[in-house]
Structure 1
């Protein structure tokens, strides 16, 4: 069986902007870096995904906000895909790249859990990939919660958003595991 590819989604400087609101899991990047180091040590496939927003004023617009955070920055030769939508499979060569490499298993982590991480994990599963979600190498923000559809609904806690997103993925689209558990299993 081939090694699983590690897919790091949108771990970018723009997510340090206060525009996103309160955040859960401040150790997400540390855990993502631990996974990245293990994959690099094993010579297993690593894929970096960057969101380059087309929304005016977005913290992820081209420029400093779209830069990868230093702890997970790609090394020369590592694969990078850029996207402007939630799924890392839409408008990129990600699926073709994985198929060409014979990869059928993925470990996914990144920002943010209910958006680009969730959308990519769901699509990966629908495309037939086996997905492990390193849930503690992901994070959610309260400012991402769209509550304007229900008058008077307060923004939920970012940990509640994260837990709900992981719960919706686990068992149907992915197996949610801690970073330690993923590292025990290895690539």
Structure 2
């Protein structure tokens, strides 16, 4: 009986399970770093809310829509897109910081899936983007915004916003991948702290 257990424990893990497990470890690493820096998380969540309140009430009272209508119906979709564009800045910063501190080089030496580093980072960014969107949706509902389409159309539009900002492997989110690529290119500039 113990020989059968020992034989199963030494069998190599399937490559897909290995990549998924490693991706979840990297995702947890990034989310733990975010939890250790609550000022960054709070700043990322409070800034879009302040913009919604400022544009919704301060400037919104001066806005009139031709033919009547609610200004907030146009404000909130713009705020959703803006929040996702602003969410790309922490992606660039964290990828560049990991590169300058040698974290990426350490990951290359570990016996882990190469796919896991990119996927773990992407899942962590997706989680923070979903949190940003959730806070903005609650804020929009509090100020009187209502989605005009069906519920599935609204979810599809919010999903497109979230996927456009987050570099998800295989989803072709060009803006998120361009930001991650540019942050890696910064490391090669002569004035950077570490050139490759």
| TM-score, structure 2 as length reference | 0.27
Higher relative strand content: 1
Computing the radius of gyration over CA atoms, which structure comes out larger, 1 or 2? 2
| TM-score, structure 1 as length reference | 0.28
Higher relative helix content: 2
